[in-house]
Amino acid sequence: MSTIMLDDIRAAAERKYGSTNIDTGTRTVKLLNPLRLGKKQRDALMAVQDKLNAEGADQEALLAEALTLVAESPTAAKALLASIGGDLAVLVEVFSRYTEGTQAGEASPSAD
């Protein structure tokens, strides 16, 4: 009978469902894969994504809310949003790269 170490399973999950890391120039902010979030956060993220498709939605506010939900901490989210500085195009691009990485089941590459 084979034995699988839980640490090996954790490492495999991290490789497959790891974070998307955004280097702001002063720090690296980890955006967690939805599967690594708690149920309450996942549900809130789904609700925000549904609102993004609504007519007249405040895209900037909703994208900021989504990034706040998936950031490793509220402090990290604030740092990322401050670095973005309300630039909607950059906000959209960050969220797009985040979602691309999570849909592929792998973290998107980060700049080292």
Sign of the dihedral defined by the CA atoms of residues 25, 29, 30, 32, in that order: negative
* pLDDT at 103 (0 to 100): 73
> pLDDT per residue over 1-17, tens digit each?
899 999 999 999 988 99
Per-residue model confidence (pLDDT) at position 53: 87
pTM: 0.82
What letters, b where the CB count within 10 A reaches 16 and e where it falls short, cover 64-83? bbbbbbbbbeeebbebbbeb
At residue 22, the 3 state secondary structure works out as strand
Give the pLDDT score at 104. 54
